[in-house]
Amino acid sequence: MKYDLIAVVALAAVSGGVCGAQAPQPGQPSVQTISAKGRKSMKFILMMHMKTDPESAAQGIMTWPHEDIEAHIRFMMTFNQKLKDSGELVSADGLSWPNEAKIVRAGKNGEPVTDGVFPESKEFLIGFWTIEVDSTERAYQIAAQASAAPGRGGVPLNMPIEVRQIMAGPPK
């Protein structure tokens, strides 16, 4: 069985919407909302990045033994299912390679104008989870669990997961 990047990340898509807004100033409390389940909650995006340097590429998942790739996928699928079962998963997706991305701007008449492929960088966003939890600490716990996904030989990757709150509205 051949795996592409999306299959390797194995993030199951779950529908859900978010609303962006201005972030609070330093020292202001995080924004909590009342969820559809009637509880106070906060939404976060957990972002998984991939480095583009030759050393990282040489150790990338596509170089792993088949059984290690399968173990990684099983971990991600189980991880996502647990988040879904707990009601904390809003959505999760893996993204295509940067060479498939385009920068889009509105032209003079509002028509889309594309600008080549995504600019080269030291790393790129490979996948993300949107979660709804009761606290910042819980978001950090979930990110740590994702970070520990098994790599080559089952050794935890301990990959960095960027955690950012999704604002439900402007700060009060």
Q: What are the extents of the domains in the chain?
A: 5-15+31-166
| CATH superfamily, domain at 5-15+31-166 | Dimeric alpha+beta barrel (3.30.70.1060)
Mean pLDDT value of segment 71-77: 96
- How do residues 15-30 score in pLDDT, each as one tens digit? 222 333 334 444 444 5
- How do residues 37-69 score in pLDDT, each as one tens digit? 566 799 999 999 988 888 887 888 889 999 999
Three-state SS sequence of the chain: CCCCHHHHHCCCCCCCCCCCCCCCCCCCCCCCEECCCCCEEEEEEEEEEEECCHHHHHCCHHHCCHHHHHHHHHHHHHHHHHHHHHCCEEEEEECCCHHHCCEEEECCCCCEEEECCCCCCCEEEEEEEEEEECCHHHHHHHHHHHHCCECHHHCECCCCEEEEEECCCCCC
